[in-house]
Chains A and B, each alone.
Chain A
């Protein structure tokens, strides 16, 4: 079976995650060798995922951790209370 562009797009996410079986992987890779559109789509998608996953993209608010542990310290210091906060 020869895969076309649409077929590659449908599996692009799984392909990125190494989730496609060996046969499909080989077909996709053969397609990518001669299809500059699919190659560019794959490259751009990977690039975007790397950029969004970088810690700098979604920064924690300044002082977040300090405030968290301060709040926690208060909680830990309070006497056992089994009443929870549903």
Chain B
């Protein structure tokens, strides 16, 4: 889905040389990514959409400062993160931001929910609104620093280095936060997903 890097650099050069309209094309593969990044920070659809537009406009205005040391997607993600944090600060005031950082040091609660048998929930089950909702709520309830990393790594599929670069943290921190995010999700979701599917066959419409 993503444009090749060389192709992309070519597009950027042409935009900067005056073919402004090509910016639509440049940005199209990343629309979802920009939204998810904003949403992971501001946790509100309308706010995330407004922020996504701002981030994209900002990327356009600052395109000449993109030098290609990072991938365009990483650069754009950084802009989206900054936009999200700016909005968050405006909404909450700066005081709250530091609370979250303390979570990082804690050990012990990052153990998975034990179980002896997991019956796979197929992708078709996502047709059910309740399931999508349960998943979204679980992600939304992750501590901010874990949700950000989880979003970049597992939803947007940035690699560890790109995630580290975009968030301004080191690769080790990305791995630790991702690990904790995944464990917290497993712990939270396993009991819910189990009770959501008591009679799985009919529930997921396998009889269809």
A interface with B by C-beta (< 8 Å): 6, 9, 12-14, 16, 19, 36-37, 40-41, 43-45, 47-61, 64-65, 67-69, 71-73, 75-76, 84-85
Given A36-B117, A75-B57, is A60 in contact with B154 using a C-beta cutoff of 8 Å?
A: no
Separation in Å of the B33 CB from the closest CB of chain A?
A: 11
Given A48-B193, A51-B125, output 18 extra A-B contacts at Cβ < 8 Å.
A12-B182, A14-B175, A40-B115, A43-B120, A44-B112, A44-B189, A45-B112, A47-B120, A51-B135, A52-B154, A56-B126, A59-B132, A67-B53, A68-B27, A72-B53, A76-B20, A76-B60, A84-B61
- Point out the residue from B23, B36, B114, B138 that lies within 8 Å of A72, measured CB to CB: B23
A37 proximity list for chain B (CB < 8 A): 114-116
Separation in Å of the B195 CB from the closest CB of chain A?
A: 14
Residue-wise interface mask of B (134-176) relative to A, using a CB-CB cutoff of 8 A (1 in contact, 0 not)? 0110110000000000000011010000000000000000010
Expressed in whole angstroms, the Cα–Cα distance for A16 and B112 within the complex equals: 14
Contact between chains at A45 and B182 (CB < 8 Å): yes
**Number of B residues whose C-beta is below 8 Å from A?**
56
B interface secondary structure, majority: helix
Whether B45 sits at the interface, judged by CB under 8 Å, is: yes
A55 proximity list for chain B (CB < 8 A): 32
A48 proximity list for chain B (CB < 8 A): 135, 182, 185-186, 189-190, 193
Expressed in whole angstroms, the Cα–Cα distance for A67 and B57 within the complex equals: 13
A84 proximity list for chain B (CB < 8 A): 58, 61-62
Separation in Å of the B27 CB from the closest CB of chain A?
A: 7
Whether B3 sits at the interface, judged by CB under 8 Å, is: no
Given A52-B135, A53-B155, is A60 in contact with B35 using a C-beta cutoff of 8 Å?
A: yes
Whether B24 sits at the interface, judged by CB under 8 Å, is: yes
Mark out the residues of chain B between 80 and 133 whose CB falls within 8 Å of any chain A CB in the assembled complex. Answer: 111-118, 120-121, 123, 125-127, 131-132
Expressed in whole angstroms, the Cα–Cα distance for A67 and B56 within the complex equals: 12
Closest A residue to B48 by beta carbon equals A61
Closest A residue to B54 by beta carbon equals A85
8 closest residue pairs by CB, A with B:
A13-B179, A43-B118, A44-B118, A40-B118, A56-B126, A45-B186, A40-B115, A41-B112
Given A48-B189, A69-B24, A72-B56, is A61 in contact with B135 using a C-beta cutoff of 8 Å?
A: no
Contact between chains at B126 and A64 (CB < 8 Å): no
Given A12-B183, A13-B182, A67-B53, is A52 in contact with B123 using a C-beta cutoff of 8 Å?
A: no
